[in-house]
Structure formats: structure tokens, C-alpha cells
Amino acid sequence: MSEVNETVLRRFIGEVINNGDFSVLDELVQPNYVYRSPDQELDGPEALKSLLAAYRIAFPDLNVRIDDLVNGGDKVVITVTLTGTHEGDLMGIPPTGKPVKINGMILSHFKDGKIVEEWEILDMLAMFQQLGVVSLPA
């Protein structure tokens, strides 16, 4: 089953996130899917679609590259590099036209060959710095 989970996760990144094909989401996530990050928790595939759609509007060329993958049976952990050009509103930040490159980590929990829960941590400070909306003291 762990190989199936890895395949599902790679499809999720490639087809859903990178290609914006939300039509396959129901094949890949459970109806009771839960997404967690340091600043939010979302319940269900529709909430996930809304989050991903917002990121694809903000970054039309959004691309997530899997840098490393650890498969632990019903849990798969990936480290990722996210790139894109800020061309749409993002969390109230108007488009800057600036490119971003940020790193993150996602822990995906699987049940019956579908993702049921995810914990995601992205380096949002780096993203806000690259967009020019946050600066650190010299």
C-alpha cells in the first residue's frame, strides 16, 4: 500500500497543484480530508480546492518540486520547493510581479489509498521577504 500512497501523492502534486486539475482531487483525497498549517485548518476537498485555487490565481505559474520523499507506510513526508510569479492577489497583497522560491515540508496521512490529512509548513517569511512586503533589520 505504501507504493500506492507515494503514487497518489506524486499525482496530487503534479496534476492538482502544478497543473491545476481539480477534477482528479476526489480520486486522491478522502471526503473527510483535513488540511493543517500553522495558521489554518481546512475541512474537506472543497475547502482544499478553494485554497489551491487562490494560490493558482496569485501564482499562475505555480510549481511545486518534490526535493525529498520519505515513505512510512500510511504516512509520506516530502520536502518541496515552491516557485511562481506573483501575478494575482495573495492574502490581501496586490500583485508584485516578483518571482518567489520558497521551501516547505508536507506530512500526508493516508487511509484506503487516499490522503485523509496533511500538515504543511511553508517558509512564509521568505515568501513575504521576496515579495517585498516584509524586511528584516540589517
Range of the domain at 24: 2-131
42 to each of 6, 93, 105, 112, 123, how far by Cα in Å? Answer: 23, 21, 17, 21, 19
Distance of alpha carbon 77 from alpha carbon 112, whole angstroms:
17
Query: In which residue are the cell numbers 516547505 written?
Result: 104
Q: Between 30 and 73, whose confidence is greater?
A: 30
Grade residue 1 by pLDDT with cuts at 50, 70 and 90: low
Query: Does the residue 97 lie in any domain?
Result: yes
Eight-state DSSP code of residue 112:
T
Which of the four pLDDT bands, split at 50, 70 and 90, describes residue 38? very high
pLDDT tens-digit readout, 66-114: 999 999 989 999 999 999 999 999 999 999 999 999 999 999 999 999 9
**For residue 40, pLDDT beyond 90:** yes
**Is residue 138 a part of any domain in this protein?**
no
Query: Which string of DSSP letters, residue by residue, matches 16-81?
Result: IIIT--GGGHHHHEEEEEEEEETTEEEESHHHHHHHHHHHHHH-TT-EEEEEEEEE-SSEEEEEEE
Residue entry with cell 493516508: 110
The answer to the question of residue 137 being in a domain is: no
- The answer to whether position 91 is within a domain reads yes
Identify the pLDDT of residue 29: 97
- Tell the burial category of 136 from Cβ atoms under 10 Å away from its Cβ (0-12, 13-18, 19+): exposed
CATH (domain of 102): 3.10.450.50
